[in-house]
Structure 1
Amino acid sequence: MLKLLRSLFALIVIALAAISLITGRSMEMMAYTQFFLGALLLAMGFSELQEKRKGMAWFLFLVSGLTLIQSIFAFI
């Protein structure tokens, strides 16, 4: 299940980044891209936690939280 979520979020991030490069509206798409990047990092953190690599999992949780908070402030 986590591999599916990671793949889905990675495809969404790549698609949003490509769309913002093609259309030239990078500032409008940045908040969405960062939100899904935070979700991708969160899913990666959970998969690392399942593989018993707690140090990397907590680092990914921290970076995910910071990215999600920043993307929420970008929406406001």
Structure 2
Amino acid sequence: MADWTVYMLRCADGSLYTGIARDAAARLSVHNAGRGAKYTKARRPVALVWSEPAACRSTASKREYSIKQLGRSEKLALIRS
């Protein structure tokens, strides 16, 4: 069972934000309330466009890092898949 989720949000300005959470839906609400990351606070509203389960925090963090190393076109391709 996956305890963590790696997720991507599309911000109001069209940019993409990647993060991890135990509950992606709850985290989305926090972002949209302006209490999430500083990056998304100024770019609300945000929408969840992609998510992937992860077995533990370590795995989720490693996957988050690998996604953050991708270019925009590669991130968009991941969202489409």
Range into which the TM-score falls when normalised by the shorter chain = under 0.3
* Greater strand share, structure number: 2
Rg larger in 1 or in 2? 1
TM-score by length of 2: 0.26
TM-score by length of 1: 0.27
